[in-house]
Structures are given as structure tokens and as C-alpha cells.
């Protein structure tokens, strides 16, 4: 990949050349701030591209359908997951490009402010 940054707006649409907005990153991190949502998101990340149906997720998390819908909606609104209707099933998928962009945003300036090698304390 070239040195261009890839960012996504709140719906998950690609914005080439843009740096992720701090407010958008904060909204995505806030959505993951609930233990239930974090468990849900990790479950979908593990599921891979096929995703999982709402019924499968509900069974694994052991939460009521209305609660699951509430948590899914919060993650969909910030673009971390996407949902797809297939027949009567609603399938949830982790939005991997958005996840990678968020991780990249968090690590983008890793150690950029570190002191030079001569300033390190002895090990």
C-alpha cells in the first residue's frame, strides 16, 4: 500500500487520503466502552467474513433480543459493524477496514515524542 491514509466516515464509507477525525475515533471507542458491546464486537471479529446471525449472537451472549438490537445499533451507527438481511435472518459482520483504520489511528504516532537514544536511563 502507498503512504496514503485511509479513513472511514461514520457510516464506514472510505475516505482516501484522510486522517481519521479524533471525534470519530472517540465515538467508535465510546461505542466499545460497554462490556456487552465489546463482547459482541470481539465475537463478530472472531466470526470472520461470514458473520453471525442475530440468533447465533443472542445465544452466545445470553442476552434478550431487544438488548442485543440496542447494542448492535450503537456499533452500526459508528460503522464498526454492518448488518445484512438474508431472507428472514439479519447477519452481523465486523467492518474490518474500519477496525484497522481505528487501530492505525491509535498507533499512528507511536513513540513519535520519545527522547533520543542518549536520553535513555540505564537498563
Predicted confidence at residue 112, as pLDDT, reads: 86
Q: How far is the C-alpha of 11 from the C-alpha of 75, rounded, in Å?
A: 10
Q: Give the number of other Cβ atoms within 10 Å of residue 17's Cβ.
A: 9
Where exactly are the structural domains of the chain?
6-108
How does pLDDT run across 37-51, given as a tens digit for each residue? 999 999 999 999 999
Q: How confident is the model over 72-77, as a mean pLDDT?
A: 98
Q: What is the pTM of this model?
A: 0.77
The pLDDT confidence band at residue 103, using thresholds 50, 70 and 90, is very high
Domain 6-108 indexed as CATH 1.10.10.10: yes
The SS3 call for residue 27 is helix
Amino acid at each position: 500500500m502507498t503512504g496514503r491514509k485511509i479513513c472511514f466516515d461514520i457510516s464506514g464509507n472510505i475516505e482516501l487520503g484522510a486522517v481519521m477525525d479524533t471525534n470519530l475515533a472517540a465515538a467508535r471507542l465510546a461505542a466499545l466502552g460497554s462490556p456487552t458491546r465489546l463482547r459482541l464486537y470481539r465475537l463478530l471479529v472472531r466470526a470472520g467474513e461470514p458473520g453471525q446471525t442475530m440468533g447465533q449472537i443472542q445465544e452466545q451472549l445470553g442476552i434478550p433480543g431487544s438488548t442485543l438490537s440496542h447494542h448492535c445499533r450503537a456499533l452500526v451507527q459508528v460503522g464498526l459493524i454492518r448488518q445484512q438481511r438474508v431472507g428472514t435472518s439479519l447477519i452481523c459482520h465486523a467492518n474490518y477496514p474500519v477496525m484497522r483504520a481505528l487501530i492505525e489511528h491509535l498507533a499512528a504516532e507511536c513513540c513519535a515524542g520519545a527522547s533520543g537514544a542518549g536520553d535513555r536511563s540505564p537498563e
